[in-house]
Amino acid sequence: MDNTQQVIEKITAPLKAMHLAQLTAFALTLPPLYFCREYLSLDDLSIIKQCQQRLINLLKNQEITEEKLLQLLADKEYFDADEARLRVSPEPVE
């Protein structure tokens, strides 16, 4: 495991899948629920792995810093998992 992967795992360890999906979107300057919508059909472990890999790539490519990720965690507002899923779920057909 390289240093970048260790940094991402340390930062993201306490995060649930939908929280991590929102952090990933913020890191890429996308709307906060972008990856929640994209990954809605995946299980939580798959979402976590996908998002961690995106964040690792951002760090390796120097498109974001560890400090900026920590700042995004502290400064941005996040929906809890249920609210995020509710907001991105398809509208029920009546």
Q: Which of 68, 70, 61 is nearest to 15 (CA)?
A: 70
Distance of CA 50 to the CA centre of its chain: 9
AA letter at 77 = E
Contact 33, 85 (CB under 8 A): no
Per-residue pLDDT, 57: 96
Per-residue pLDDT, 22: 97
Kindly list the averaged pLDDT for each block of 10 residues, start to end, along the chain of length 94.
89 95 97 94 96 96 95 95 88 62
Per-residue pLDDT, 92: 61
Per-residue pLDDT, 90: 77
Per-residue pLDDT, 2: 83
Per-residue pLDDT, 8: 94
Per-residue pLDDT, 78: 95
Any idea where the domains of the chain sit in the sequence? 3-86
